[in-house]
């Protein structure tokens, strides 16, 4: 409970005594490049193969001749939009982005760079952490949208190459009984997950004590805690928005 309280106080300090708006613009743009562009490759690979595996495994278990083929792509579409796209992508990003943020802030803490900012009268939480959270909230929905598209497209390619489902049937299944609120649900999840991952990783890195060994421990704790937070938030959001 004490750590939770410290985390909430940490979040509150992000918005006290902030810097000028123009200072944050360049910082947020740079963080968007670091978080978004540098994560494109891993998101592309993970999402494409998740969609392909989902299609192949679903087709392998659809041995009932009375079940139409387009159900395969319908399952790929719904599972990708509801779970695989936002949740698995953000779990992967918690390892990629979370460890990077915690390691960066932890290194700044043990080398006394954060102390130097505070001596100069700068709100170090707001200056260092807020741009990372804003950049995550901006870029994560873009990455999740890309992941959802690539997951569905990866299923299309896998179904076509293996002969599990024809391209016409796959496209029909994608369009069949489509619910637009599923994409809205995925974007809401991505924003919530982005905030949790960036804030928890920043909290772990910001309060690092010791040396290089503790920086590694902070990075590990950031990934572990953010993954747990993402999974808990995933369940709660599913209850609120879908259930």
In this structure, is the dihedral angle defined by the CA atoms of residues 168, 173, 174 and 175, taken in order, positive or negative?
A: positive
Task: Look at residues 156, 138, 160, 139 and name the one whose alpha carbon lies nearest to residue 80.
Answer: 156
Do residues 226 and 201 make contact, with C-beta atoms less than 8 angstroms apart?
yes
Q: 191 to each of 24, 88, 135, 175, 178, how far by Cα in Å?
A: 19, 14, 11, 26, 23
25-78 pLDDT, tens digit each: 888 888 888 888 888 899 899 988 988 888 888 888 777 777 778 788 888 888
159-191 pLDDT, tens digit each: 888 887 888 888 888 888 888 788 888 889 999
* Cα–Cα distance for residue pair 2/123, rounded to 1 Å: 23
* Cα–Cα distance for residue pair 166/92, rounded to 1 Å: 31
214-231 pLDDT, tens digit each: 888 888 888 898 899 999
Do residues 225 and 199 make contact, with C-beta atoms less than 8 angstroms apart?
no
* Cα–Cα distance for residue pair 221/3, rounded to 1 Å: 13
């Amino acid at each position: 409970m004490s750590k939770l309280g410290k985390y909430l106080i940490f979040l509150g300090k992000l918005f006290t005594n902030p810097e000028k708006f123009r200072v944050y613009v360049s910082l947020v743009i740079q963080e968007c490049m670091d978080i978004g562009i540098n994560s494109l490759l891993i998101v592309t690979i993970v999402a494409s193969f998740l969609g392909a595996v989902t299609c192949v495994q679903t087709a392998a278990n659809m041995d009932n001749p009375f079940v139409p083929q387009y159900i395969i792509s319908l399952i790929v579409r719904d599972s990708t939009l509801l779970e695989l796209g936002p949740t698995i992508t953000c779990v992967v990003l918690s390892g990629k982005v979370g460890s990077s943020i915690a390691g960066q802030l932890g290194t700044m803490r043990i080398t006394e760079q954060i102390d130097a900012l505070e001596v100069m009268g700068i709100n170090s939480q707001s200056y260092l952490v807020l741009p990372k959270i804003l950049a995550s909230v901006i870029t994560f929905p873009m990455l999740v949208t890309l992941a959802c598209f690539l997951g569905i497209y990866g299923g299309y390619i896998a179904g076509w190459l293996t002969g599990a489902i024809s391209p016409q049937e796959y496209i029909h299944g994608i369009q069949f009984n489509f619910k637009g609120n599923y994409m809205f649900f995925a974007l809401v999840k991505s924003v919530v997950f982005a905030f949790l991952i960036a804030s928890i990783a920043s909290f772990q890195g910001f309060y690092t004590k010791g040396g290089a060994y503790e920086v590694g421990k902070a990075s590990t704790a950031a990934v572990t805690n953010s993954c747990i937070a993402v999974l808990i938030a995933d369940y709660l959001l599913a209850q609120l928005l879908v259930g």
